[in-house]
Amino acid sequence: MTEAKKILITSETREFFILHGADDEPMMVYCPECVGSGKFLGIEAAVEISSINVRAIISGIDSGRVHAFETTDRQLLICEASLLVYVNSEKF
Ligand SMILES: [Zn+2]
């Protein structure tokens, strides 16, 4: 029973693990795409740091170049490292 539940959670979350988090701090999350832990930002912080708009960020997420996941309370968290690589490569 426990094993079945674990598999379900793994497939839904794509194996993201939240290591640390506070309301006003970026979360340190293990990102399987980066193969390491990094800062994950809310959408507003991501816009501020990247200087690109929400639509461009979502487009990066859709193309798989920006790593992101949704928490159980429907907050979108964005991998800062991949976001910065995306911004630099696209030259917005
Ligand atoms: Zn990442």
CATH number at residue 84: 3.10.260
Domain ranges, residue 23: 2-90
Is 79:40 a contact under the CB 8 Å cutoff? yes
Ligand 1 centre distance from Cα of residue 39 (Å): 9
Ligand 1 centre distance from Cα of residue 42 (Å): 14
Q: What is the pLDDT of residue 75?
A: 83
Q: What is the pLDDT of residue 59?
A: 96
Neighbour tally for 63: CB within 10 Å = 9
Say what angle helices 54-62 and 80-90 make with each other, to 10 degrees.
100
Q: What is the pLDDT of residue 81?
A: 95
Q: How far apart are CA 10 and CA 49, in angstroms?
A: 30
Ligand 1 centre distance from Cα of residue 1 (Å): 31
Q: What is the tally of structural domains in the chain? A: 1
Q: How far apart are CA 28 and CA 2, in angstroms?
A: 27
Taking only the tens place, the pLDDT of each residue in 7-58 is 444 444 445 555 544 555 556 788 889 998 888 899 999 999 999 999 999 9
Q: What is the pLDDT of residue 20?
A: 47
User: Which residues sit with Cβ closer than 5 angstroms to ligand 1, an ion?
Assistant: 31, 33-34, 67, 79, 82
What mean pLDDT comes out for the span 62-90?
91
